[in-house]
Structure 1
């Protein structure tokens, strides 16, 4: 493989690049402050903003969105952040996409950094109204995620097989949870649709062959009868018509030209992206860096904590599939067990991350700042931020260029359809996971099931209905859930105490 040259990148000229910078900023500047609710809600926000927006021209079409969604789910790292980055990369190019990444992630990251600065001054137990506020926010978030799961499933389900994959993936995600399990479910989903489409194509070819043989047989019978009987012109027409009717009755109307399954045309090629050679080189360099860091991580006996923090976050960003809900247990192992962050501070940050906009991976900024609080909170936050986001973004850049070359192949389209359906099923699993840890109390700050208090179900249902039927924007609905939680504390919980 020849090494690509710098000239092959073909970065656009200055004015065009500045114009794309301006477009990306004006279209996305508010998302970092308003994208509450976690990855499932983020996918819906991105769809409304860049596919369905009637006031502005769409950045991508529906099929491209579904393909990017499947690719983002199939790669490790923060799912919604990769999706946002890939949409901007496809429409505006790599450098504007990097700008969008910081617009998307920095507001929440700065908020978590401020929380890391102040959390050590907080007492061991928060005031009771704060727990009620956080529980109400969690309950509203459950309603938002449930709505996102339903809306995503409507787009992912295209036939009986994808419907079955959504149900099977969601049920399987409820029953078991491990690092290898979620990507395995998505691989099984992709293989299932490839096998199904191949079987359907074989069946169609078989039916076409039978129809063709039937037409040939009918034609030969007509010719033989016309030679032997030499019918009149009117009789010949009747015989031919009779034979055609017989063939139609035997093999069905219409003839196979109308029965052929024509694959959906691939969407227009992305406007911007790295050449395939650069994409392959990017993937190669990532794996070289990952192997080098993991070797050093295992060889060094007493490495600096800053190095250990970065490598732990780099590893988490590489092996995590499924986004924020999956990364939490792994981060606990990487920062709590070594004694860098206390269990209390970890649980408080976990409760508060739901109230912050942007990706849940910003939780790493909070943990990184606390891990190096004795030396440099800022350094720890920066190392954790880049360590956990860099793998997913790098792989997205590399694989997007490869995807551009493979996206027109039928087996790739079929496989992405199955990966997409399986990933949507796991969104329903996220609803259950958050429901199980959403209720916070002074004695149960790690979270218990929202089912312990019926009021939280009321908040979830009202949030779902208000967003779906009355057009309430998700940030307002989530904050309304927090206010409802405070109201419950004032009317019920305080009386109990």
Structure 2
């Protein structure tokens, strides 16, 4: 349990400073982020004990959205209430948001489709997503039923490429998992309490579902580009299970077919997002900035993270009951297996089909993959190597 302390300006400032430092240094993706959080919040500062931290991580695995960001928000909520959660989110997220908005504004002056370094960043995306696929497949598709669900998700995602297909796949996998994986999970009996009231939880959940229904209606009845953008990014943030990499196909299908962004610019930004610390969902800041400048970047960031914030605030008061529901626990096994299939589909299209255009591209991708997976080099080194290598390849080949 965490000890309740009065929320003061100093405590909120401390949350902001600590989370900002994490936002500036947390490279490596969501699993690495959880490791950074554990070291800082559990071992060093003792803001939360081991069992409570494990339970909070488990809760965030159940929810759509960026799990590591939700864990950070949850710790901020427990430490400093709603403002503590907001400050924890801002500190962890803003550094990469500002860098990606700046990158987008600089990039607008160039023809990104012809830039060699951009092609190199696209090949970096191949290596990074390949690593994510291997790691997730080893943990989430261990037996034949899980592998079969992943294959079903891959097939459906590629043959019917729409956001609605992905939603249907996730729901079907959850139903199958709740029936198929009985008695897989053992629910522990330790308890955890939060300072968020059930009333606040109900309001947050009502806002989450209300916006999910209302925004598409407003989009159809108005001609405001800001409403359309907010709807697209909010829906993407609401429907993603499995972390930042899985948001790629949802965002790609929201912004590329509509003409908001070219596929080259989309993949270039995705490659650049690997170079910055913090959550991969900040990729939305880059997309928004390309569409509508820095204001668009901030709007897209707010829209894609708002579902995560509302869900963690909304579910914390009810987590004690949810975590003991075996059907939910079993359904998550099926959902996680489906996430692997969706990620493989995204790996093929658009990442592979738009990046690996010649044998030398495949060789370069294999080198970057080896640097990342076998040599254990830092992600920023991989990104810099990809950009420089892309320029060299454009000159030599």
Instruction: From the superposition, tell whether residues 84 and 418 of structure 1 become closer, same or farther in structure 2 (CA, over 3 Å).
Output: farther
Aligned twin of 1:227: none
Instruction: Return the offset for 1:316.
Output: 2.6
CA distance in 2, matches of 1:182, 1:329: 14
Among 188, 204, 220, the alignment partner of 1:282 is 204
Aligned twin of 1:418: 330
Among 356, 361, 369, the alignment partner of 1:460 is 369
- Deviation by residue 1:411-439 (Cα, 9 ceiling, x = unmatched): x1x34543454455456547745754697
Q: Is residue 32 of structure 2 the alignment partner of residue 13 of structure 1? A: no
Contact persistence 2:169–2:338 (CA under 8 A): no
CA distance in 2, matches of 1:110, 1:416: 37
Aligned twin of 2:163: none
What is the SS of the residue equivalent to 1:113?
helix
What is the SS of the residue equivalent to 2:167?
coil
CA distance in 2, matches of 1:344, 1:276: 46
Aligned twin of 1:36: 27
Instruction: Return the offset for 1:309.
Output: 1.9
CA distance in 2, matches of 1:367, 1:278: 32
CA distance in 2, matches of 1:34, 1:168: 38
Among 376, 380, 397, the alignment partner of 1:479 is 380
Contact persistence 1:435–1:449 (CA under 8 A): no
Contact persistence 2:37–2:72 (CA under 8 A): no
Aligned twin of 2:72: 84
Q: Report the structure number with the largest CA radius of gyration.
A: 1
Structure 1: gaps (5+ residues): 1-10, 199-262, 468-475
Contact persistence 1:317–1:387 (CA under 8 A): yes
Among 113, 123, 127, the alignment partner of 1:135 is 123
What is the SS of the residue equivalent to 1:321?
coil
Among 268, 271, 285, the alignment partner of 1:365 is 285
Instruction: From the superposition, tell whether residues 453 and 264 of structure 1 become closer, same or farther in structure 2 (CA, over 3 Å).
Output: closer
Deviates more, 1:67-76 or 1:378-387: 67-76
Instruction: Return the offset for 1:380.
Output: 1.6
CA distance in 1, matches of 2:264, 2:120: 18
Aligned twin of 1:175: 155
CA distance in 1, matches of 2:128, 2:65: 25
Instruction: From the superposition, tell whether residues 102 and 76 of structure 1 become closer, same or farther in structure 2 (CA, over 3 Å).
Output: same
Aligned twin of 1:391: 307
Deviates more, 1:89-98 or 1:431-440: 431-440
Q: Is residue 189 of structure 2 the alignment partner of residue 266 of structure 1? A: yes
Instruction: Return the offset for 1:398.
Output: 0.5
Among 45, 55, 60, the alignment partner of 2:33 is 45
Q: Is residue 183 of structure 2 the alignment partner of residue 196 of structure 1? A: yes
The Cα RMSD (Å) is: 3.9
CA distance in 2, matches of 1:12, 1:56: 14
Instruction: Return the offset for 1:127.
Output: 3.8
Aligned twin of 1:401: 317
CA distance in 2, matches of 1:383, 1:188: 37
Contact persistence 2:121–2:271 (CA under 8 A): no
What TM-score results when the alignment is normalised by the length of structure 2? 0.78
Aligned twin of 1:3: none
Instruction: From the superposition, tell whether residues 187 and 292 of structure 1 become closer, same or farther in structure 2 (CA, over 3 Å).
Output: same
Aligned twin of 2:160: none
CA distance in 1, matches of 2:208, 2:372: 42
Contact persistence 1:186–1:423 (CA under 8 A): yes
Instruction: Return the offset for 1:396.
Output: 1.9
